[in-house]
Amino acid sequence: MLKIETVPDERQTILRLIGRIESQHVQDLKVRTERRAHEIVFDLEEVRVVDLDVVHFLAVCEAKGITLRHCPPYIREWILKEKPRIRELE
- Would you give the distance in Å from CA 75 to the centre of its chain? 10
**What gap in Å lies between CA 20 and CA 89, rounded to an integer?**
25
Sketch the domain layout of the chain as residue ranges. Answer: 2-89
Query: Which of 18-27, 33-42, 56-65 has the largest mean confidence?
Result: 18-27
pLDDT at residue 49, as a whole number: 97
pLDDT at residue 65, as a whole number: 92
- Encode pLDDT of 80-89 as tens digits: 999 877 765 5
Fold exhibited by the domain 2-89:
Transcription Regulator spoIIAA (3.30.750)
Q: Which long-range contacts (CB under 8 A, 24 or more apart) does 28-33 make?
A: 28/4, 29/4, 29/57, 30/57, 32/4, 32/6, 33/61, 33/66
pLDDT bucket at 90, cuts 50 / 70 / 90: low
Q: What is the pTM (predicted TM-score) of this model? A: 0.89
